[in-house]
Copies of this chain bind each other. A is one copy, B any other.
């Protein structure tokens, strides 16, 4: 939380073996790192080990730009470990995709303007002009790429170029009403966060509020997940629900759902920004 201290965070994953925790914590502590948070998880069924560890760098004797190298050599290689190191000074850079709805957009921009998150938002991309005024009101550049069946590949190529030019580290689809292509998704694996307006896996696809109304459920939900090439099937990051009754109409479901969507999406973004999420087997581990 204290952003004045410089920290490193490792997310790691390997086959479960005796001695990993001792080895990793020893590496940090012997080199004068002070552990701020440690969370581990063992999937006993699959025999997999997962850990997130964050430490204070102020007295750490390995230079920041060498941590990756040393950790790989001294620890990761002998455990056949996958890992990523994040420094607190490297703020993630987020691109926001929107269409015509503004509730998630406003929620994100308000948090951004009040500096709730350690993130940069260099640009907003849309397939419509509708949200330009809202976005520019917050001083963020707005790019519009209208999509048709014919120009989709071409427009996405321009979008990808723009993301690259802006050094974007992850993408948020804030009720972006376009299916992004397989190629686009492959450029950002487990780095595109979507919000689906139902309690997945119930009511996949279009018009989930209509489907929920028709089925007569007593609770509706929203689901944020990483986008994969299987529509609405990516790893779930966060879900929440709210109670409804027979008095609710489709219109009132949409309204209640908007409050859910924005909160659930913003929570997922926060977990991602704080590097709390590991993906394994199309599921997420969200460290607390």
Contact = CB atoms under 8 A, between A and B. Distances in A.
A201 interface: yes
B245 A288 contact: yes
Chain A interface: which size bin? 35 or more
A202 interface: yes
Interface stretch (A35-43, A149-157, A160-168, A169-177): A35-43
A61 interface: no
Interface of A: 1, 18-19, 21-22, 25-26, 28-30, 32, 34-42, 44-45, 102-103, 106-107, 110, 113-114, 116, 134, 137, 199-203, 215-219, 221, 235-241, 243, 245-247, 249, 251-252, 255, 258-259, 263, 266, 281-286, 288
A36 B42 contact: yes
B42 A40 contact: no
A167 to B, nearest CB: 27
A219 B216 contact: no
Given A200-B215, A216-B235, 5 more contacts: A21-B21, A22-B25, A26-B26, A216-B283, A246-B283
Nearest to A109: B106
A22 B18 contact: no
A29 B18 contact: yes
A216 B226 CA distance: 12
19 contacts: A21-B21, A22-B30, A26-B26, A36-B42, A38-B38, A41-B247, A106-B113, A106-B114, A107-B107, A107-B110, A201-B215, A216-B283, A219-B239, A219-B241, A245-B288, A246-B283, A246-B285, A247-B288, A259-B263
Contacts of A22: 22, 25-26, 28-30
Contacts of A263: 259, 263
A134 B1 CA distance: 26
A106 B116 contact: no
A245 to B, nearest CB: 7
A284 to B, nearest CB: 6
A81 B166 CA distance: 50
Contact of A239 (B37, B217, B249): B217
Given A22-B29, A103-B114, A240 B219 contact: yes
